Chain A
Amino acid sequence: MPKRTDIRKILLIGSGPIIIGQACEFDYSGTQACKALKEEGYTVVLVNSNPATIMTDTDFADRTYIEPITPEMVTKIIDRERPDALLPTIGGQTGLNIAVSLHEMGVLKEYGVELIGANFDAIQKAEDRDLFRKAMEKLGLVVPRSGYIRSLEEALEVIPQIGYPAIIRPSFTLGGTGAGIAYNKEEYEDAVRWALDASPKRTVLIEQSVIGWKEFELEVMRDLKDNVVIICSIENLDPMGVHTGDSITVAPAQTLTDKEYQLMRNAAIAIIREIGVDTGGSNIQFAVHPDTGEMVIIEMNPRVSRSSALASKATGFPIAKIAAKLAVGYTLDEIPNDITRETPASFEPTIDYVVTKIPRFTFEKFPQTEDVLGTQMKSVGEVMAIGRTFKESLQKALRSLEIDVYGFDPVLPPVSSDIRKNAIAENLRRPNSQRLLYIGEAIREGFRIEEINGMTGIDIWFLENIRQIIAEEESLKNWGDRFRALAGGGEIAREETAPLLRAKSMGFSDRRLAGLFGTTEDSVREFRLRAGIRPGFKRVDTCGAEFEAYTPYLYSSYDEENEAMPSSRKKVVILGGGPNRIGQGIEFDYCCVHGAFALQEEGFETIMVNCNPETVSTDYDTSDRLYFEPLTKEDVLAIIEEEKPEGVIVQFGGQTPLKLAIPLQKEGVPIIGTSPDSIDRAEDRERFKDLLDLLKLRQPPNGIARSAEEAETIASRIGYPVLLRPSYVLGGRAMEIVHDEEGLRKYLAQAVQASEEKPVLIDKFLEDAIEIDVDAIADGETVVIGGVMEHIEEAGVHSGDSACSLPPHSISLEITQEIIRQAKVLATELKVVGLMNMQFAVQKGEIFLLEVNPRASRTVPFVSKAIGIPLAKLAAKVMVGRKLTDLGFTEYIVPEHISVKEAVFPFIKFPDVDTLLGPEMKSTGEVMGIDVKFGRAFAKAQIAAGMMLPKEGKVFVSVRDADKSGVLGPARMLNECGFRIAATGGTADFLTRHNIPAEPILKINEGRPHVADLIKNGEIDLVINTPLGAQSKADSYYIRRTALIYNIPYVTTLAAAKAVAHAILHLTEEDLSVRSLQEYHGARERQARDRAQDGGTGR
């Protein structure tokens, strides 16, 4: 069927900020959908609150709304835009939930908007567990025994039929929020309460536990003619019990016979038909009993998902793009397969390699929570690796993770065997982020694979592979002497090097081999090259080489044939950012993608290297050539040797490629843009200090400590409080503010040990300072400021966690100008070519420089969206020699509108974690609010971040003494808006004395009902709670945690309280309105034109 002509305008809903369970895979799918629909001539209207997405670049949709994704705001967009159709299946659970709400509110009917892809009934049938269960029963398929409950009483009624252990799963959530396992009544009741709370509809499914069963997923696509194909089968290495997002997964499925696989395929096809997903992709999860083959259906997602992004990257079949085309009426056989060109999309990809995905965790950021995996997703990112065998792909995936692991590195210290065995057994039985490495240790310690299988439930096939790797390590160790003898020099006979070739084809990294041989990575590398052992590159082609592949999507292996066939064009390699983690997320991928687009415009062949399957950068469409490879020195060098590029860009992908800059340069790799030496001048604290002295710029008093004694001396010299951190970090890893010597000692004893190689940086912490972020671009001659952002939270809160406003909303023009001057001086001195980010603190009118990063920063996408200038694109162009004057970007732009960025946090996923902000970054994502007034822009950012700002009700205020006078302003403002104020004893007295009526309520330890009771009962609508001293932090912790769990808006800093009060005032005065980015920037461009005509000079 040809495409539909009865619809012209299509609304797409993005997935909003990056959170655990919903990450940049939805930018990948959304971007593909936008491109596909525009290509077909439809007008695309997009709403997404996340500025760090490629999809929200104004090129991808005709109308781009960076607005909160709430039913109310989307209704306003629908009212303005009058789309014919809404495609709800590309924006994750958020997109789907909004579509459901809009349907239920009658908005879609009122405006005549058709749901395409999946209709309301299909969404309901798939999402509502009771309806889903009935549908499965109708098909004769088995689902785990279950009951659907709306209260604790009902929960107790159903449990006898289901039995323990039971899974408690709330409906309409994502990332497994609130799902839990209960082995007894007590745990069950707790879990039910939590789940009821976590479900937006207060409906919870209680299910028979199938923990330990094998877990599989199928990615299914269907078209309007009812053609159904399976794109990919995925097998989870971790059996049921660990959320699939937290599981190591492998494609294709490895341990099913054809008969068993076909039963699963038949079930999947029957399910997509029965649920009634008209077109597009769905993900269906199965559990299989390891001893009987009994199969149960776990769930179905009637939309593109994290797994479909993985499946797309694993097979080369672009699920979201095809899904978008199917939604407008095409059938699978009408859409060509991009990779083979000649064959249609109506087929099932076959893959002649093994794909392994390993999730990336950041438990180190949340030391209060246990490293335990369960049905609630906790990983913040993932890596994927491709190898010709599972062993190769697994070892490549391990080194892609960037956790300082280059294979099955030992994790246990050389202690007694008994201690090791106990530690191993414990870590095998309880799923955790390190379990894979513990399996290696178990094998070294002599555990049989049957025992490991008994403790982990992991299939023997996977365990045997790991056993072979460990066995190979042992024989390699023995070969170490021979290696050292051969490495000594002279001719190397081919037969002599067979063990090395064998190891390489099993996926061993040079670095791991160096560890086994007792030598250095460089000497392994040097020997390997001398022996002529280099990887070749193979193509991902969807068809197992049956047809020729036209898309250079490549991975390395040590098989014989090399299919890389590099071109002779002038080319640039862009190194990506690797797995998403806290501190290095989608923003860096955004910059890499822009780099690729920009250099294509400049006539270069662009070559992307990355290992993150969620991203737009790893779409084979983004660059001319894609290498899906780990970002280690070894793997990157292999690509560079193959491609021989004119330049390599390291400044876009965050710390990952930046760390490689100097090692690569030493190997003669042409790094373009700001020189690695300049990067080092900014990163190395001592050289940085010299730089500032030279430029006569101030920084907070500081020092570098290489021992605990030195640290104490420095701290007492510069005076407490001090900010401590290890050198060379991103995202404020292990950064802490300490107020006294005791705190300092504790930090050095527990968190970071100061040493000669790894010194600790100590800075004077500037109290009550305002932090300013500046992004600039320079071409070696001209420096242009991209944006100046004022943080809402005071200095001390990590810049990635702080809200900020562009342009600044409170600092004076003089200060801004001085900051800009300093930024320009720095960029000039560092000879920056490309992007640079600087952080300043303003304390009592004085400016201190905190940090300079001559690279793309987290705020580049936000600034680009705020000012309507693609900074990363310009940066890529200047790196290849273009000048800013030619590119037409020569002046700092101060937009008429206000843009506010707000961070989004994963606290809800981590039990027992406090929600306080500090110098260590904890946010996973960000949102942007745009409006002409600060209060409204801030309100939009808050709403977009999930903070449902109330317009009326009761505010709970409890602040430390130092903040008492400061809180008067916001409290009065809220009181005047009609809010009632409740406060604990001291604060209540203080407020009342200052004529703000406040009703006293009890602290947690003062009896009941106390403040947490009121929060739970829904009597509090906003919590303002600033941390008290270290001791009473624990008391207020309970308040913050309760507010978090009950989804009550809360603020933990005075600055945020002021901004929130301001925002609420605006909300009560006037309804929020929506406006597209094209309109904001169109207006600016028009004004610029007008001014030019008036003979004005602009700003």
Chain B
Amino acid sequence: MYERKAFLALADGTVYHGTAFGHIGESGGEVVFNTGMTGYQEVLTDPSYKGQMVTMTCPEIGNTGINPDDVESSRPWVEGFIVREAWRLPSNWRHVESLDGYLRRYHICGISGIDTRALTRRLRDGGSQAGIISSVDFEEKRLVEKAKGLPPIVGRDLVREVTSNRETRWESGDWDLVKGYLPAAEYRSRFGRVPKVIAVDYGIKQNILRMLVSHGMEVTLVPSETSASAILARRPDGVFLSNGPGDPEGVPYAIDNVRELLGKVPIFGICLGHQIMGLALGGKTFKLLFGHHGLNQPVKDLATGRVEITSQNHNFSVDAPSLGDLARITHVNLNDRTVEGLSVPSLRCFSVQYHPEASPGPHDSRYLFSRFYRVLIGEEEL
């Protein structure tokens, strides 16, 4: 088999030599590692990875190929994909395409055959950093310079690049092995009341929409810059703040909008939506050394003492002391004690840093969608 070489250069000067897959060319971004052992297709299509290149710690990637269902948006968003072994001949009854072919189709550069564990350890100890994958330029020094020249993620508005540009109604629910995604109509009959939710799209993962629908809500997706008044004009029963890429401080307009919405309507936020909520409430956020990207993060629900195994993907975190009395911390990460959830009962708003919609990852936290539903129909107070 013909193999083309590729280099990965980091801003700190480290260069890894590997083999190219996917697109032949060059791309850059912040390099982060993801520890999930399943769900690379969901990772690729998660808009939160805009601006980032992902290395999977699990070494065998691409085994199940690419299928039409396991997508979190309409296309892959990662800037580059870094794996130990990229599988070209997939084996799974649902696959329609190989990982390699898919990345080529979307012009995404991949590199395989490098010591991804060494890379991960470097990122863990030194923090996330900029990197360049190239299968066209093999001048190591030049590549490192290019990596150094990449724009930083802090303060940057990446949301603008991934949000939808128009309003849409979301019409499908949860996934079934035999039937695929169930239509929204299937759920409407199951629930007595179907509250209307406006979901603000900062780069939303489709499974959040599917979860909202399958938990009894009617969902309309609006672009990230939609103003608070425009949202309220639609007379929603609740507002959902989505996940998204980058630094929450890079989207001041979103923080302003949320501040305006607080107290007027129940709000539920996930990931970036949670960070924006934290900032809107008056708290602060900070950048984690290398973020949380994986499917095995233990989060404790402080109200029940139960531990949820959660799916996570974030680089920034809400600073606990900055919240003071502004909000109640409801969930904490048991690995590093960072804030994983907050709520303000008087404002009928709550949010979590992790991904209860999973996809990929454990389904332990789906109860949060039910909680949102009950808050919306007035059956539960936070």
Contacts and interface: CB of A to CB of B under 8 A. Distances in A.
A352 B58 contact: yes
B59 A354 contact: yes
Given A348-B295, A349-B296, A464-B91, A254 B117 contact: no
A353 interface: yes
Given A545-B124, A561-B115, A347 B296 contact: yes
A445 interface: no
Interface in A201-231: 225-227, 229-230
B91 A350 contact: no
A311 interface: no
Nearest to A233: B37
A257 interface: yes
B287 to A, nearest CB: 17
A342 interface: yes
A351 B58 contact: yes
A389 B114 CA distance: 12
Contacts of B359: 258-259
B64 A347 contact: no
B91 A352 contact: no
B361 interface: yes
A561 B63 contact: no
A931 B189 CA distance: 73
A459 B93 CA distance: 11
A225 B334 CA distance: 16
Contact of B298 (A292, A333, A546, A547): A333
A266 B363 CA distance: 7
Contact of A559 (B35, B60, B115): B115
A460 interface: yes
Nearest to A391: B85
B121 A545 contact: yes
A293 interface: yes
Given A258-B359, A545-B121, A559-B115, A459 B38 contact: no
A676 B262 CA distance: 80
A261 interface: yes
A814 interface: no
B307 A333 contact: yes
Interface residues of B, number: 55
B309 to A, nearest CB: 5
Given A257-B70, A258-B361, A352 B63 contact: no
Nearest to B64: A257
A565 interface: no
B42 interface: yes
Nearest to A350: B35
Contacts of B298: 333, 343-344, 346-347
Interface string B67-91: 1011000000000000011010111
A259 B69 contact: yes
Name, among B36, B91, B297, B305, the residue most crowded by chain A CB atoms within 10 Å (CB to CB): B91
A546 B358 contact: no
A258 B360 contact: yes
Contacts of A548: 124
Contact of B91 (A230, A461, A545): A461
A464 to B, nearest CB: 5
A1034 B92 CA distance: 51
A257 B335 contact: no
Name, among B41, B60, B69, B358, the residue most crowded by chain A CB atoms within 10 Å (CB to CB): B60
A545 B67 CA distance: 29
Interface string B305-338: 1110100000000000000000000000011000
A255 B63 contact: yes
B177 A293 contact: yes
Contact of A351 (B37, B92, B295, B335): B37
A291 B362 CA distance: 24
Given A350-B294, A464-B89, A257 B59 contact: no
B120 interface: yes
B129 interface: no
Interface string B28-68: 00000101111101100000000000000111100110010
B59 A353 contact: yes
A333 B124 contact: no
Contacts of B363: 262, 265-266
A291 B91 CA distance: 10
A538 B309 contact: no
A163 interface: no
A291 B95 CA distance: 11
Interface string B87-120: 1011111100000000000000000001111101
Interface SS of chain B: loop
B60 to A, nearest CB: 6
Interface string A270-296: 000000000000000000001111110
B307 A227 contact: yes
Contact of B177 (A261, A263, A560): A263
B175 interface: yes
Contacts of A352: 35, 57-59, 116-117, 120
B348 interface: no
B296 A346 contact: no
B300 interface: yes
Nearest to B294: A350
B84 A332 contact: no
Contacts of A333: 298, 300, 307, 334
A564 to B, nearest CB: 13
Given A227-B306, A546-B35, A255 B64 contact: yes
Given A255-B92, A258-B361, A293-B177, A346 B334 contact: yes
A348 B90 CA distance: 26
Contacts of B307: 225, 227, 331-333, 346
Name, among A257, A291, A353, the residue most crowded by chain B CB atoms within 10 Å (CB to CB): A257
B120 to A, nearest CB: 4
Nearest to B114: A560
Nearest to A390: B60
Contact of A461 (B39, B63, B294): B63
A1015 interface: no
A700 interface: no
A257 B38 contact: yes
Contact of B37 (A291, A344, A350, A388): A350
A256 interface: yes
Nearest to B85: A389
A108 interface: no
A229 B117 contact: no
A347 B297 contact: yes
A342 B298 CA distance: 13
Name, among A294, A331, A343, A347, the residue most crowded by chain B CB atoms within 10 Å (CB to CB): A347
Given A262-B362, A547-B335, A348 B296 contact: yes
A544 interface: yes
Nearest to B304: A225
A706 B141 CA distance: 67
Nearest to A449: B89
A799 to B, nearest CB: 46
Interface in A543-587: 543-548, 559-561, 563
A23 to B, nearest CB: 28
A252 interface: yes
9 contacts: A331-B305, A333-B300, A343-B335, A348-B295, A546-B33, A546-B57, A559-B117, A561-B121, A563-B121
Interface of B: 16, 33, 35-39, 41-42, 57-60, 63-64, 67, 69-70, 84-85, 87, 89-94, 114-118, 120-121, 124, 175, 177, 294-298, 300, 305-307, 309, 334-335, 358-363
Interface of A: 225-227, 229-230, 233, 252, 254-263, 265-266, 290-295, 331-333, 342-344, 346-354, 388-390, 459-461, 464, 538, 543-548, 559-561, 563
Given A262-B363, A344-B334, A547-B124, 15 more contacts: A252-B58, A254-B60, A257-B64, A257-B70, A258-B39, A294-B177, A331-B307, A333-B300, A333-B307, A350-B294, A351-B37, A388-B59, A388-B84, A544-B120, A546-B294
Leading 3 A-B pairs by shortest Cβ distance: A258-B39, A544-B57, A561-B118
